Amino acid sequence: MSFNISLSGLSAMQKALDVTSNNIANVATTGFKSSRAEFADVYTTSVMANGRTTVGSGVQTAVVSQQFAQGAVESTNNTLDLAISGEGFFVMNATDSKENIYTRAGNFEIDEKGNVVSSSGYYLQVYDVNEDGTVKSMSLDSTKNLVIPSKAGSPTMTDKVTSSMNVNAEQSAIENDDKFLENVEKFDPTDSKTYSASTSVVIYDSLGKSHTLSYYYVKTDVDMRDKEELKVAPNTWNMYLFMDGKPVDVADMKNAEGETTQKAIRTKYTDNGTTYPINCAQVTFDEYGKKPEWVPSYIRTVALGNVKDDDTCAKILEDGADQNQTITIDNTLTQFAEQFSVTQLSQDGSTVGQLTGLDVNGKGLVCATYSNGTSVNIGMVAMATFANNQGLSKIGDTCWKESLSSGEAVPSRAGVGTTGTIKSSALESSNVDLSASLVQLIMAQRNYQANSKSLEASSNIMQTILNVS
C-alpha cells in the first residue's frame, strides 16, 4: 500500500514540476496564461471498514487550472499590435473552418491578401460597421475577416469647389480711359503685374486625374455687361478661370431657380502677345465690401471637354474622361481693406487613394486613411467573454476554444460591460511570475525528493521482511 501512496506522490510532484516548467518556458510568450496544478487526496473505504483507522491512498492531480490574471501591457511600434486591458478575448477563425478561436495574444500582421492574421495564421474577426462606425450586428455568426484594402474606392470627379476669399479694397483699378478695354485685355495669367490676386485648387476628372484650377482677380471698377456703353462701377472685379494653364469659360450666372441673373462677361486675355476671347465673371461689391444679394454665389464653368467654334474655351480633358464635366464654384467673396486672403478652398472630388495609415481606437474601431484624404471605417474588433474562463480548452499557440465547462462565447465590444478596452501599439505580456515560479519549482523538487525517501523507506521495510524469512 505504501508503495502506491509514494508512487502517487511522485506522479503528482512530477505533474507540478511539468506545470511550473511550462510556465517558466513561456515567461516571454505574448498573451500566455500560466497554469497551476491542483491536487486532491485519494481516500477509499468500504461499508465494513473502520473509518477512524482508515489511511488515505495517496494523492491525485485534480486539475491543471488556467490562471487568467491580467499580464503587463507593453508598448510597441506596430499599430496592429493589440492588447486587451481587462476581460475578454479576441475572436479569430481558422483558414478552413468557421469554428471560432479565442486568444489574448494580439500580435497581428497583414498577409499578402490584406487579411489581418495572427502569428499562427488565424484570421482576426470584426463586426461590420456603418459609415459612422456604429456596429450593424453584434453577433459572432455575422463577423468577418478584417481585410485592409490597399486602395480606397473609385475616382470621384469634382463637381463643386467651395471657397471663401477676400480681395483687397485698396487695390488699384485698371486705368479708366479711352483704352480701358485694351488695358483689360492685357490680362495675362503668366504675368503677375496684369492681375490683382490669384489662387488655385486641385480638382479631379472622372478618371481620377488631377488638374489645377486657378482663379485670377482683376479690379476694373467698370461695369462691362454692355460693351457699347461702359459704366463706372466702383468695387467691381473680373474673375477669370484657368485649368492647367488653359482658359475656361464661365457660364451665365443663375439663381437657385435656374433663372439667369447675370450674363458672363465677354472679354479677352493675352498669351505671348496674342489676345484670345474668354468669358469671365464680374462681381460688384456694395459699400460694405459684400456682394449684393441679387448676385449669386455660384459660378459655373462650361463643359471642360468641349471646344466652342470660336475657340473661346480650350479643351481641358482627355478623350477618355467625361467630356461634359462642369465645375460649380460656391465662392463666398468679400472686399475689405486688407490683403488678399483665402480662408477656405476645398473640392468634393477624389482620386484612387493608397493606404497611408491605420488606426485602432480603444473601442476596437479600425479606421484606414488613404492618400486621397479619405478615411474608411473598416470594422470593429470582435470580442467575446465566457462565464468560466478556466473551462476553456487549450489548443496551443496561445489560443483556446469554448467547451461545456466554459459555456458559450458571449459577443461583446471593447469597453462594454466587463469587457476591457483595446490598446493599439501594445501587447499583453505573459502573466507568469518568474520569481514565484522558481520558488514553486524548488518546492516541487523537495516534495519529489521527500516522496522518493518514502518510497525508499517502504523498499527497505520490504527487504527486511524478506530477510527474516
Query: Do both 241 and 337 map to the same domain?
Result: yes
Give the least confident one: 204-213, 344-353, 451-460.
Answer: 451-460
Same domain, 307 and 392: no
- Quick check: helix, strand or coil at residue 396? strand
Q: Is residue 78 domain-shared with residue 57, that is, in the same domain?
A: no
- Structural domain of residue 91, as residue ranges? 73-153+354-428
Do the beta carbons of residue 304 and residue 260 sit within 8 Å? Answer: no
Between CA 200 and CA 208, with CA 206 as vertex, the angle to 5 degrees is 65
What distance in Å separates the CA atoms of residue 223 and residue 265, rounded to the nearest whole number? 10
For residue 31, give the 3-state DSSP assignment.
coil
Q: How confident is the model at residue 205 (pLDDT cuts 50, 70, 90)?
A: very high
Q: Specify the pLDDT at position 158.
A: 95
Any idea what the CATH number is for the domain that residue 258 is in?
2.60.98.20
pLDDT averaged over every residue in the chain = 87
- Given 316, 347, 378, the domain boundary residue is 347
How many domains, the chain?
3
Q: Are residues 391 and 419 in the same domain?
A: yes
Boundary residue ending a domain (289, 324, 347): 347
Q: What is the C-alpha to C-alpha distance for residues 403 and 100, in angstroms, rounded to an integer?
A: 12
Residues 306-332 pLDDT 10s: 766 555 567 888 888 999 999 999 888
Q: 12 with 114, same domain?
A: no
One-letter identity of residue 334: T
Q: What is d(CA 172, CA 308) in angstroms, rounded to the nearest whole number?
A: 34
Q: Are residues 281 and 137 in the same domain?
A: no
The answer to whether the pTM exceeds 0.75 is no
Do residues 298 and 164 both lie within one domain?
Answer: yes
CA–CA separation, 85 and 63 (whole Å): 27
Residues 6 and 56 in one domain: yes
Note the pLDDT tens digit of each residue in 127-163.
999 988 999 999 999 999 999 988 776 788 999 999 9
Same domain (yes/no): 290, 188: yes
Q: Are residues 230 and 333 in the same domain?
A: yes
| Residue 307 shares a structural domain with residue 375 | no
DSSP 316-334: -S-TTS-TT---EEEEEEE
Question: 435 and 424, same structural domain?
Answer: no
Of 347, 371, 386, the residue that ends a domain is 347
Band (450; pLDDT cuts 50, 70, 90): confident
Residues 29-86: tens digit of each pLDDT: 999 999 999 888 887 766 566 666 667 778 888 888 899 999 999 999 999 999 999 9
